Amino acid sequence: MSELFTAVLGKPFGVVVYQLLAATQYTIYLSLIALIGGGLIALVITIVRTSPYLNAKRVAAGYIWLFQSVPLLMLLFLIGLGIPRILGVNVNPWLAASIALVVYASAYLADVWRGAVESIPAGQWEGARALGLSFLKIVRLVILPQAVRISLAPTVGFTVQIIKGTSLAYIIGFYDLMSIGKRWANAPVSGTEPYVIFPLMALIYFCLCFPLSVWARRLERRLGAVSSKQIPKLP
């Protein structure tokens, strides 16, 4: 593959483009880990947050508030540098970056999904309860199918924020598009000047994010928005 790129694009540039694209896969893997891991935690938190148990609800609300307030960069520093120092163990950048992004994604997804669940009319809960369904059955059979529909658009939109968020992981030594791009931009090779590399990286990120943005907007138009204008877009 590498030879193909150099054959088409010439010596330094073809290698650069190939390496950037090859590193992009790690950006995608990390995004998927954050989305799936964060989604699973967010599911639990959403259920707790919308359950009738007051103390559990407070804990879930606190979790959402805390991890929405902590900057992602600080989360990465704390997990990638802070925890290893305080515990005296080595943490592999993959693990640290994954934990930080999973926690980060879970707080936002839980908040988005809570909004979706709360937008379902109270009559649905009452009707299901009147039929004698248990809490978990109400959630699984009545609430979830409707909530998933409503929250699909903001969830897809948030995936864009996750992809952009992974670009910070290079700070704790994670190898991805950002880290290899920065290395090339610093290299004294003509054709890899910062004004070439950074727009190229921006283009790759754009190609990952833009289709998702368009898809999210289309879903929003089709399925209706859950006050998605209140969910801030993260840079």
Partner 1 sequence: MEFRFFEIYRSQEYMGLLAEGAALSSALAIGSGLLGFLLAAVLSSLRYFEVPGLRHFATAYVEVIRNTPLIVQLFFFAFGLPLLVGYAWPFWAHALLALTINFSGYFSEILRAGYAAVPAGQVEAAMALGVKKLTLFRKVIFPQAVAAMYSSLNSQFIFLFLTTGVIAEIGVTDLTSAGLFIDSRTFRSFEVFITLTVIYILLALAFKALLNGAYYQMFQWKRAR
| Residue choice 82, 183, 189, 215 for contact with partner 1 (CB under 8 A) | 82
Write out the chain in H/E/C secondary structure: CHHHHHHHHCHHHHHHHHHHHHHHHHHHHHHHHHHHHHHHHHHHHHHHHCCCCHHHHHHHHHHHHHHHHCCHHHHHHHHHHHHHHHHCCCCCHHHHHHHHHHHHHHHHHHHHHHHHHHCCCHHHHHHHHHCCCCHHHHHHHHHHHHHHHHHHHHHHHHHHHHHHHHHHHHHHCCCCHHHHHHHHHHCCCCCCCHHHHHHHHHHHHHHHHHHHHHHHHHHHHHHCCCCHHHCCCCC
Would you give the binding string for partner 1 spanning residues 56-75, x where CB under 8 A is met?
-------------xxxxxx-
Could you tell me the smallest distance in angstroms from the CB atom of residue 155 to partner 1?
Answer: 17
Q: Does 17 bind partner 1 (CB under 8 A)?
A: no
| Residue choice 167, 179, 184, 192 for contact with partner 1 (CB under 8 A) | 167
Stretch that binds partner 1, among 14-22, 33-41, 109-117, 176-184 (CB under 8 A): 176-184
Stretch that binds partner 1, among 32-40, 92-100, 116-124, 191-199 (CB under 8 A): 191-199
Could you tell me the smallest distance in angstroms from the CB atom of residue 104 to partner 1?
Answer: 11
Please say which residue, 72 or 150, places its beta carbon nearer to partner 1. Answer: 72
Q: Does 193 bind partner 1 (CB under 8 A)?
A: yes
| Residue choice 1, 87, 89, 130 for contact with partner 1 (CB under 8 A) | 87
- Residues lying near partner 1 in the complex (CB under 8 A) are found at 69-74, 77-78, 81-87, 160, 164-165, 167-168, 171, 178, 181-182, 185, 193-199, 201-202, 205-206, 209-210, 213, 229-230, 232-235
